Every structure is written in structure tokens, then in C-alpha cells.
Amino acid sequence: MKRIPFLLFCLLLTLAGHTQSPPLKDSIEKKYLTNGAWRHHYFSKEWQLYLDSALAVLPDDAKFWQLKAMPYFKQRKYEAGMVYLDKAVQLNPAAYLDYRAFIKCIFQKSYHAAIADFEAAKRLNAHQGVMDHSYNFYIGLSYLQLNQYDSARYYLQQCMAERQQQNKEAPMHFLYDFYMGIADYETGQYDSAIAHFNTALSHYPDFSDAGYYKALCLIKLNRKEEAKLAMAKSIHDYKEGYTINEDNAVYEPYPYQVRAWLFSYYKNLLGLQEPLK
């Protein structure tokens, strides 16, 4: 009986492994995700144990590494989670590079690193965006947080142009005008900022964050009575829970998202009596 050359034998094994990979992955997902991790809260020890078991069988599966990483970010254990997310990106950058960029922008708040990842994700051209927004939106936010307001405006404008090009009939997302207004507020362009905040409020009338910064602009313009009305409505809307409503805002505050303590100084300045709690 002829012996198979060793290199040919290895090739046949590899091909056999590829042939069996999809059904193997399906069975592992069913065993360790459907009937395992997904039956537990993602902060539980069981979640991590099931993911560890899946990775023991399929260590090169990027999806399992991402699922292992995700709970750590929501627990604000950024460095712990990034170890696993980096592995997912290494194995499948087309699927997970933009997700890592999002995590760096919104969760980890590593803005230079977020910009670098988003620019790399653009070059991959795998997706149009991540978490309901274009890459340019998050790049704009990153520059806003780096106090580079002209760059922030540029990328937010690009984001808005993309949105209009995709669907001219759809209303603009209220966050785009909100953050354009923030860039104008930070650079002393108060009339322009108010116009952007008004546009955001036209799409989301109870948006407490836009109302708050609109009131600050009105104070700067010595329009105290208008500021008083805007701040009073913002406080009311905030107490009712109307704020930035992105899915991940329950875990992490978004840039310039208002918190109760921010109202105190201006509430007193304007002579408002409405309690914050």
C-alpha cells in the first residue's frame, strides 16, 4: 500500500477541517450560545464560562471573542475587555474593526485611537456605519472631545450629507444638529448654535440636552427671559427622562449629555424654583 506524502496528508486534513467547519460551528453555537451563554445575563460568570468553552473548541472564531469582550465594556472594565476585542479584530477586521472603533469612542473614550480605527474601517469598506450611524459621525464626536471644533464640524457635515444622499425624505437625526450646535456653542457662535439646537428640538421636542445648551447660549446673548423658559423646560424634560436615547447611553454617557448637577448653577442664576428631583 502506497504511503501518502506528509505534506499531502496535511493538506487533506486542512481541507477536511474546512469542509466540516460550518456544521461544527453551528453545533458549538447551539451548545454554548443558544443553550448556554444566552440563557444567562451577560454579566454572569456563566456567560464567560460558556464563551471559554466555545473558544476552547474554536479558538479562531472572532464572534466568540467579541461576545466574551462585550460585557466587560458595559461594566466599565475597558482594558480587560479590549484584550478579547483586539483578538476578534485580529481574526476578522472586516467584521469587528468598526465595532472596536465605536467602543473606543463611546466607552473607552480613547479618541485618537477611535479616529485611527474608523479611518482604517473606511479603507476596508466592509460596512456603511456602526450602531446606527456613519463612521463620520463618530469621528466628528471624537474631534469634538479633543477640542478640535473645525474638524468636528467637517465630519459632522459629512455625516449629514451622507444621510441626505441616502434618503432625502427621511428627517435628519436629531443628534447631528445637536452636536453641530455644541461645536458652535464652544466657539462662541451662539446664534448659529441656537439654530442647530432648535432644529434638533424640532425632531425631538422634549430633548433636555438640546434645551439646556440652548439656554446657555441665550444667557450668553443676554436673552435672560428666553433662557429662563428654555432652562425650565429642559429641567422638566430631564426629570421626565428625555435625554440622549442611544441604545448604549444606558451604560455610558454620550459627549455633552446633561446630568442633574449641571443644572444647579444656572437654575440659581435664572431664579428657577423647580426642584431637580
pLDDT by residue, tens only, the chain of 277 residues: 344 443 433 433 333 344 346 788 999 999 999 999 999 999 999 999 999 999 999 999 999 999 999 999 999 999 999 999 999 999 999 999 999 999 999 999 999 999 999 999 999 988 989 999 999 999 999 999 999 999 999 999 999 999 999 887 888 999 999 999 999 999 999 999 999 999 999 999 999 999 999 999 999 999 999 999 999 999 999 999 999 999 999 999 999 999 999 999 998 889 997 655 5
CB 236 within 8 A of CB 273: no
Residue 22: the pLDDT is 74
Q: Identify which of 178, 247, 237 has the alpha carbon closest to the alpha carbon of residue 208.
A: 237
The C-alpha cell at 92 is: 476578522
Residue boundaries of the structural domains of the chain: 173-277
Give CATH for domain 173-277. Answer: 1.25.40.10
Calculate helix-pair angle for 111-124, 93-102, nearest 10 degrees.
150
Q: Give residue 194's pLDDT.
A: 98
Q: What is the pLDDT of residue 171?
A: 87
Instruction: Annotate 100-156 with DSSP letters as a single string.
Output: HHHIIIIII--HHHHHHHHHHHHHHT--SEETTEEHHHHHHHHHHHTT-HHHHHHHH
Query: Which pLDDT belongs to residue 274?
Result: 64
